[in-house]
């Protein structure tokens, strides 16, 4: 098909909203390559270069020439809103099928089949959906003009953000006609990833690779071990940093904590995480419109979000790899002469990164347990049924099933919603790949630690070398380094803030699948038997009070008076209603005096009577050894009983040292309410952390 250069430029200007826009180096060449059907193309260009313009303009030119619709596969549908708006300005009719628009699937599938859609955007998980394969893909596969694979590094085992369902693309690509236009794009592909992509997307995959240097970015690393120091640094620098930006954290909890801290210092910031749900789009727009100083975000705000004038990207902790960091920090300074990219390094980051590395693949024992459980049932098992049969968390079961089902050949398959064994055995190659990638992630972690230790001015060159680019083009940072000292009074304020935080304990509203047979409980927990929303003082072992709780439980064998005072203050601020009139606690046969002693001292501090009214009937494994909610509930079933009848009247504070699954508190609250107590207000010293 002939290429219309004038029309392509017109579309670029329509899409960008700028009458003077011109193509960046390599952009038009990539569009021409695709439209003229010169073969499969991999575009490797830095964040902000404009890869989406390549595939949207190419789509429009192909459609104007009478070709069929394009299919785009991306893991970032929720973050491509501004790119889709730009496409629509060009007249490109874009539609998405994702988990958020189930009610529109039939209409969109029909429109796509009738070629009323120019480009259909789907997630890689959709490729595994039998309904989509049979109703949509098989019907239009021969009519698709172009297949676009966005964030193509996700295909590669070596890529920092490997997505298991991208493995399906390898099989699909092999069945495609050799002359079908295929465009793959990514910002984060080193030589090893590119070789992997060439093997998967070939044959004869051409590569368009741009310059990796970001001259506008002034990179810096600062080692501040404690969270209080980093919170203080953020409050200090956000007051003087011009413009708007993103502050990245490794966990949802830290995103919320950092945002809350900065709000107490008067900054207009918001947390943005995988749990933000329906507020995501509004928050993205708020940052685009400069209505917030910053979003404090996890990687949920990562690839796909485009704000060209971001003035800073700050990392609260060290990411796990150079490619992940380059991709995230690259959000800043796209359309600015200068911007800051600052990495703050803290003591907890290695533990967090280690958890992500260890949990990336199932262990041999986990795979064996899942396969044995499925084999024992002729009809196979659903995930809820698996949870009741194996002592693994839902996350571990989901990951195990996803990885096993995407092997070729796969040892398990889904039939009528149930997982069943196939005739295939899991190959040893699966374990070799897991070991190889685990070793790679460890090496990437060490590389990032090396990055943290670099002197100012050497960071961009290090990143480019790690990405197999040319570091000779790197110039000195345009901006001076930010101060590394922290105001001591701000640090003290941050310590006070960390110790003032409390965490909500949400009441459970229904019993687990299969109920609790020994208590004869199933289905919903009625309001008259349900706990009230409770509070936990901290997260186990975390900044603030967490370390003191851990020391009290395992070293001192007694909780410090400071924790009593902190809980008294928490109750005062919490102000549970109706107002409690007495205190009780969860018993333990392993540590019979630990929690009762603390609860009695807390009751005295609150000027309330303490009554020990619950007993443990027999020894059970510790709850932390139970890996999922169903197992934890079964572990509690029948293990608690009342020792006093009738109970003291009135609302009660129910004390425990740690809360994880909430089943212990739920059963204890049910017993208390059944025995005649008033409303039950749970109070725990700590919530279990990730490692617990």
Model pLDDT for residues 538-579, shown as the tens digit of each residue: 988 777 898 899 999 989 999 999 999 999 999 999 999 999
Alpha carbon distance 620, 628 (integer Å)? 16
State the average pLDDT over residues 493-517.
89
pLDDT surpassing 70 at residue 159: no
State the average pLDDT over residues 601-622.
94
SS3 readout for 3-22: CCHHHHHHHHHHHHCCCCCC
pLDDT at 168: 78
Q: Which residues of 39-60 are buried (b: 16+ CB within 10 A; e: fewer)?
A: bbbbbbbbbbbbbbbbbbbbbb
Alpha helices (H) along 376-508: 383-389, 394-405, 428-452, 459-466, 488-500
Count other Cβ atoms within 10 Å, centred on residue 527.
Answer: 10
- Measured CA to CA in angstroms, residue 550 lies from 321, 413, 545, 606 at distances of 31, 43, 9, 23
Beta strands in 307-417 (DSSP E): 312-315, 339-345, 412-415
Alpha carbon distance 192, 322 (integer Å)? 14
Reported as a pLDDT band with limits 50, 70 and 90, residue 692 is very low
Model pLDDT for residues 18-35, shown as the tens digit of each residue: 999 999 999 999 999 999
pLDDT at 165: 77
| Domains parsed from the chain with CATH numbers | 5-209 (3.40.50.300), 217-349+452-491 (3.40.50.300), 357-433 (1.10.10.10), 502-687 (3.40.50.2020)
State the average pLDDT over residues 612-620.
92
User: Pairing relation of β-strands 640-642 and 614-616?
Assistant: antiparallel
pLDDT at 408: 82
- Measured CA to CA in angstroms, residue 377 lies from 356, 372, 373, 411, 563 at distances of 32, 9, 7, 15, 50
């Amino acid at each position: 098909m002939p290429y219309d250069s004038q029309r392509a430029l017109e579309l670029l200007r329509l899409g960008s909203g700028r009458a003077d826009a011109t193509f960046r180096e390599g952009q038009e060449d990539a569009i021409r390559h695709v439209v003229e059907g010169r073969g499969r193309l991999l575009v490797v260009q830095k964040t902000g270069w404009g890869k989406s313009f390549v595939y949207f303009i190419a789509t429009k030119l192909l459609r104007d020439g009478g070709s069929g619709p394009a299919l785009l596969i991306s893991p970032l549908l929720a973050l491509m809103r501004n790119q889709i708006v730009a496409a629509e300005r060009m007249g490109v009719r874009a539609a998405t099928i994702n988990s958020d628009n189930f009610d529109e699937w039939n209409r969109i599938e029909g429109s796509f089949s009738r070629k009323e859609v120019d480009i259909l955007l789907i997630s890689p998980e959709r490729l595994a959906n039998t309904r989509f394969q049979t109703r949509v893909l098989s019907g239009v596969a021969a009519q698709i003009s172009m297949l676009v694979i966005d964030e193509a590094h996700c295909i590669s085992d070596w890529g920092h953000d490997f997505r298991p369902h991208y493995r399906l693309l390898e099989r699909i690509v092999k069945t495609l006609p050799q002359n079908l236009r295929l465009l793959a794009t990514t910002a984060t592909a080193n030589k090893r990833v590119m070789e992997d992509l060439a093997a998967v997307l070939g044959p004869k995959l051409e590569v368009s690779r741009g310059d990796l240097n970001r001259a506008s970015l002034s990179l810096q690393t600062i080692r501040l071990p404690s969270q209080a120091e980093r919170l203080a640094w953020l409050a200090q620098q956000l007051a003087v940093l011009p413009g708007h930006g993103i502050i990245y954290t490794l966990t949802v909890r830290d995103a919320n904590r950092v945002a809350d801290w900065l709000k107490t210092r008067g900054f207009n910031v918001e947390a943005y995480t995988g749990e933000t749900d329906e507020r995501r789009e509004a928050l993205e727009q708020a940052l685009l419109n400069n209505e917030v100083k910053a979003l404090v975000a996890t990687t949920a705000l990562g690839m796909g979000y485009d704000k060209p004038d971001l003035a800073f990207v700050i990392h609260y902790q060290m990411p796990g790899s150079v490619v992940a960091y380059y991709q995230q920090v690259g959000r800043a300074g796209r359309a600015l002469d200068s911007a800051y990219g600052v990495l703050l390094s803290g003591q907890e980051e290695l533990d967090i990164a280690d958890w992500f590395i260890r949990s990336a693949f199932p262990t041999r024992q986990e795979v064996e347990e899942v396969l044995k459980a499925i084999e024992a049932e002729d009809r196979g098992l659903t995930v809820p049924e698996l949870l009741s049969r194996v002592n693994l968390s839902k996350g571990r079961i989901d990951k195990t099933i996803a990885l096993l089902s995407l092997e070729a050949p796969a040892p398990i398959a889904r039939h009528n919603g149930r997982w069943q064994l196939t005739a295939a055995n899991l190959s040893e190659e699966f374990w070799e790949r897991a070991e190889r990638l685990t070793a790679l992630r460890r090496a990437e972690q060490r590389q990032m630690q090396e990055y943290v230790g670099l002197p100012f001015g050497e960071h961009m060159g290090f990143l480019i070398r790690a990405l197999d680019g040319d570091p000779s083009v790197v110039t000195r940072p345009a901006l001076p380094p930010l101060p590394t000292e922290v105001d001591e009074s701000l640090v003290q304020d941050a310590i006070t803030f960390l110790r003032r935080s409390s965490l909500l304990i949400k009441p459970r509203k229904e019993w687990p699948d299969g109920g609790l047979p020994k208590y004869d409980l199933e289905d919903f927990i009625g309001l008259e038997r349900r706990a009230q929303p409770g509070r936990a003082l901290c997260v186990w072992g975390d900044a603030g009070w967490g370390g003191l709780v851990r020391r009290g439980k395992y070293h001192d064998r007694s909780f410090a008076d400071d924790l009593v005072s902190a809980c008294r203050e928490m109750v005062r601020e919490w102000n549970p209603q109706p107002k409690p009139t007495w205190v009780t606690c969860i018993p333990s046969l392993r540590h019979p005096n630990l929690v009762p002693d603390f609860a009695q001292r807390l009751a005295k501090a609150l000027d309330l009577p303490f009554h020990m009214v619950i007993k443990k009937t027999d020894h059970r494994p510790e709850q932390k050894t139970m890996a999922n909610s169903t197992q934890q509930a079964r572990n509690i079933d029948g293990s608690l009983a009342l020792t006093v009848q009738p109970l003291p009247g009135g609302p009660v504070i129910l004390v425990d040292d740690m809360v994880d699954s909430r089943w212990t508190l739920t059963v204890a609250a049910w017993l208390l309410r059944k025995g005649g107590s008033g409303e039950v207000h749970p109070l725990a010293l700590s919530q279990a952390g990730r490692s617990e």
